[in-house]
Chain A
Amino acid sequence: MSASTLILLVLGLGLAGWLAARSRATMFRRESKGRIASLPTYHAWYAALWIVIPTLLFALVWGQIADQLVIQQVLASPAASELPAFGMQRETMLAEARAVATGAAPGVFNPEAAGLVQPFEDALTRYNIIGLVVTLLIALAGGAWAFLRLKPDFRAHTRVERTVMMALLIASLVAILTTLGIVASLVFETIRFFGMVNPIDFLTGIHWSPNPMTDGSNPDPDRYGAVPLFWGTFFIGVVIAMIVAIPLGMMSAIYLNQYAAPRVRTWLKPALEILAGVPTVVYGYFAALTIAPAIRDFAIMLGVQNPSSESALAAGLVMGVMIIPFVSSMADDSIAAVPQAMKDGSLAMGATQNETIKRVLVPAALPGIVAGIMLAISRAIGETMIVVMAASATARLSANPLEAMTTVTYQIVANLTGEASMDSASTLAAFALGFVLFLVTLVLNIIALRIVKRFREAYE
C-alpha cells in the first residue's frame, strides 16, 4: 500500500466523519429548534480533525518504523545468512530485492539477491496489513471520540478555532526551526572539522589543497588554509563586482528617480529588474561561453602570457551586472525617501539639479544607499553558480584580475559533490566554509537592516 493511497484513505475517512458529524449536528439543531452552541459545520470539522490528525501522525511515524521492521524480518530469514556482513554490496542486494518485491524492477542483477525477494514480499505484506489495520482503528477511535462529544451544548467552534490557531503558530515556528536547523547542522559539522584541523590554521592559513581521497580523518593542517578562498570571494564578489555594480546602479537610480519622465520610468525600471530575475546558471554559462574567452583574447592582445580562461575578471564582471538591480533599487528607494522640502530648499537657492543631487540628496540618503550596497555584497559573496561555471578551482592569492582563482562557494560545491564520505576532512571543511559564509552574510544583513530602520525613523 503506497503512501499516496494511504493518504487518500485517511482523507476519505475524514470526509466520511465530516459528513456524519454534520448531519448529526443538523439533526440536533432541528430538534432543539435552532439552539445549539455551534454551527453544524464546526461540529463536522471537529470530527474530521479528530479523524485525520491522529492517523496522519501515526502514518508519519509508521513510515519510519515499518522500514526498519521489514528489514529486520528479512534479515531474520534463512536466505539472509548468505549476505555479506556489511558494506555497499549488502545494501545494494537488499535494495534490489526490495525493488523486485515492490514491483519497481523486473529482475535482479545479483543472483544472491533473488533469494531475498520472497522474504521481502512476505515482510512487506505483513507490515502493510498491520499498518492499514492500525490506521483504520485509529481513525475509528478518533471518530468515535468526536461523536461522543457531539451534543447540542458542545462548543465545537472554539475547539476548531483553537486548532486553527495552533496550526498557524506551528507554521510560524517552522521559520525558527529552519534557522535553528541551519545553525545546528553547520555548527555540528564545523566542530567536527575543527577537531581535525585547528581553527587558527583554517582561518589564517594560505595554502588550500584538500585531497578528498587520501585525507580521511587525518588531514594535513597545512593544506586547509582558507585565506585564498576568502580572498577570492572578496576580490571577485566585493572588488570587481562592486566596481561594476555601484556606479552603474547608483547612476541608474539617480537618473530614474530625478530625471526620467514618469512614462520612461515605468518601462525602464522593470527592465532593470529583469537583470535580477535571470537565473544565475544562465549568467554563469554566459560568463563561461562569451565573456571569459573575450577577456582571454583581450589579455593576449595586451601581451599577457598564457592568460587563463577562468579569470576572476570574467566571473566578477558578470556578477557585477547581476547585482546592479540590488544596488539601484535600494538607492532609488532611499533617494525617494528624502523629504521634498530638502530638495526644494536646495533648488530655491539656485542650485542646479545635479548639484542638489550630489550635495544634498545623496548625502541625506547615504545610510539607505550604504545598506543597499551591504545587501548587494552579501548577495555577491553568497553567489555560487557564476563562480562555479566561470571561475576556477585553483586557490590563489593574487591581485591580478586576469588570473584564475577560487572562492568559498566554489570550494563548498567542489568538496561536497565528490566521492568522499561524509566524515572526511574535505567534506567537513565544506561545512566549515558554509558556516563562515552564513555568519558573514548574517552580520551584513543585520547591520544593513538596522541602518535602514534607523534611517526611516529619522525621516518619519
Chain B
Amino acid sequence: MVMSEATDSPLASQAQKSLEHENIETGEPKMRARDVDVYYGQKKAIDGVNIDVFTEFVTAFIGPSGCGKSTFLRALNRMNDTIPSARVTGTIELDGEDIYASGMDVVQLRARVGMVFQKPNPFPKSIYENIAYGPKIHGLAENKADLDVMVEKSLRRAGLWEEVKDRLDDSGTALSGGQQQRLCIARAIAVDPEVILMDEPCSALDPIATAKIEELIDELRGRYGIVIVTHSMQQAARVSQRTAFFHLGHLVEYGHTSDIFTNPAEKRTQDYITGRYG
C-alpha cells in the first residue's frame, strides 16, 4: 500500500479534520443497499453495489464522470422510475423495508427521501409557495398559521431566512444561484425527510455560495442522513464522514473519509485521488 504519497496531500489534512466526526456512535443504517445493479435497457450502469447510509453521517459518492454516481443516487429515491428503460435489481432498504417492493408507496418514499438537483430548480412561484408546496400536497399543515411556521422553520434551517424574510412573495427564480439552491434545500427540508440526496449541488455555484452550502450541510448532518454526489474530492473531504468511490459502475471502495483519502485500500482509489486520472 502506498501511503506516503497520500498522507502528505492537502486532501489528507482536510480529511483529518473530519476525523473527529467519524467515530460517532451510530444506530442501524438508515438505508442499506445490497447487490444493486441498475440497467438502462441492456446497458449495465451500476454493478453489484453494497453500501450503508447513516443518519449521523454525510456520505459522499466520488468518482470520474459517467461512472454511475448519479444513477445510483437516483435509485435511492426511485427517480429512475421516470425513465422507461431503467431497471433496478438487488435490494435497497429504508429502515429495513425494501423500497422497490410492491407494497412500498413511491409518493411516501419521496417524502421521506428528498432530493436536491445539480442545477437549482425552484418552481416559478413565490419563495413562500416554493417551500409550502411539499407540506400542502402531503397535508402536513392544518392551517395557514402552521404553514407559516413550517416555512419559517425550513428557511431558518437552510440558512436563508434572514435574507428573504421580508420578501417571501418574490419569485423563487429571482434569487441568485446560491440562494436558489438553498431554497431548494429548504423545500426538501419542509416535509421533514429522513434522508436528503444531493446530486452535485454546488457544481453550478460560485465558491462563496459553495462555502455557504457546505456549511449548511454540516449543520443538517445528524438530523437528516445526507448523501452527496460530488465531482470535487476536496469537497468530499471537507464535508463527509463516509466516502464511496465509484468507478465504471462499480463501487470500488467505501469507508471512513479520512481512510479513503489518506490510506486507500485499492490502487484505483489511490490513482484517482492523486490525480492520475480524472
Contacts and interface: CB of A to CB of B under 8 A. Distances in A.
Co-complex (A, B): yes
Interface of A: 339, 341-342, 344-352, 355, 359-360, 363-364
A350 B134 contact: yes
B109 interface: yes
Contact of A352 (B107, B122, B125, B184): B107
Contacts of B23: none
A349 B187 CA distance: 9
Contacts of A351: 107, 110, 133-134, 137
B191 interface: yes
Contacts of A341: 117, 119, 121
Contact of A363 (B79, B119, B124, B191): B124
Nearest to A341: B121
A366 B250 CA distance: 44
A347 B138 CA distance: 12
A349 B119 contact: no
Interface residues on B, range: 20 to 34
B124 A347 contact: no
Given A350-B191, A351-B107, A344 B124 contact: no
A442 to B, nearest CB: 30
Main secondary structure of the interface of A (DSSP, over half): helix
Given A346-B123, A351-B107, A364-B123, A359 B137 contact: yes
Interface string B75-98: 001010010000000000000000
A345 to B, nearest CB: 4
B111 interface: yes
Given A349-B133, A349-B188, A350-B109, 13 more contacts: A341-B119, A341-B121, A342-B123, A344-B121, A345-B187, A347-B110, A348-B114, A350-B108, A350-B110, A350-B134, A350-B191, A351-B107, A364-B124
A300 to B, nearest CB: 48
Contact of B137 (A344, A345, A355, A363): A355
Ranked nearest first, the 10 interchain pairs of A and B with the lowest CB-CB distance are: A350-B110, A350-B111, A348-B115, A341-B121, A345-B121, A350-B107, A349-B134, A355-B137, A364-B124, A351-B137
Main secondary structure of the interface of B (DSSP, over half): helix
Contacts of B134: 349-351
Given A349-B187, A350-B191, A364-B123, A344 B111 contact: no
B72 to A, nearest CB: 15
B121 A349 contact: no
Nearest to A351: B137
A344 B107 contact: no
Contacts of A347: 79, 82, 110
Interface of B: 77, 79, 82, 106-112, 114-115, 117, 119, 121-125, 133-134, 137-138, 184, 187-188, 191
Given A344-B79, A344-B82, A349 B111 contact: yes
A405 to B, nearest CB: 41
Contacts of B114: 348-349
A339 B134 CA distance: 20
Contacts of B106: 350
B246 to A, nearest CB: 21
A359 B136 CA distance: 11
A348 B133 CA distance: 12
Nearest to B115: A348
25 contacts: A339-B121, A341-B117, A342-B121, A342-B123, A344-B82, A346-B133, A347-B110, A348-B77, A348-B79, A348-B114, A348-B115, A349-B114, A349-B115, A349-B133, A349-B134, A349-B187, A350-B106, A350-B108, A350-B137, A350-B191, A351-B110, A351-B133, A351-B137, A359-B137, A360-B123
Nearest to B130: A345
A363 B110 contact: no
A178 to B, nearest CB: 40
A1 B110 CA distance: 84
Contact of A359 (B77, B109, B117, B133): B133
A341 B117 CA distance: 8
B125 A349 contact: no
A453 B112 CA distance: 40
A339 B31 CA distance: 31
A115 to B, nearest CB: 83
Interface-central residue, B109, B115, B188, by most chain A CB under 10 Å:
B115
Contacts of A355: 137
Contacts of A346: 123, 133
A350 B133 CA distance: 11
A287 B119 CA distance: 53
A352 to B, nearest CB: 6
Contacts of B117: 341, 344-345, 348
Contacts of B77: 348
A9 B68 CA distance: 76
Contacts of B191: 349-350
Nearest to B190: A349
A203 B125 CA distance: 41
Contact of B125 (A339, A344, A350, A363): A363
Given A345-B184, A360-B123, A350 B82 contact: no
Contacts of B137: 349-352, 355, 359
Given A350-B134, A355-B137, A359-B133, A345 B123 contact: yes
Nearest to A261: B84
Contacts of B184: 345
Contacts of A348: 77, 79, 110, 114-115, 117
Contacts of A339: 121
A359 B133 CA distance: 9
Contacts of B112: 350
A91 to B, nearest CB: 67
Nearest to A345: B121
Contacts of B111: 349-350
Interface-central residue, A341, A349, A351, A360, by most chain B CB under 10 Å:
A349
A341 to B, nearest CB: 4
B17 to A, nearest CB: 32
A40 to B, nearest CB: 59
A352 B79 CA distance: 13
A349 B114 CA distance: 6
A97 to B, nearest CB: 75
A346 B110 CA distance: 10
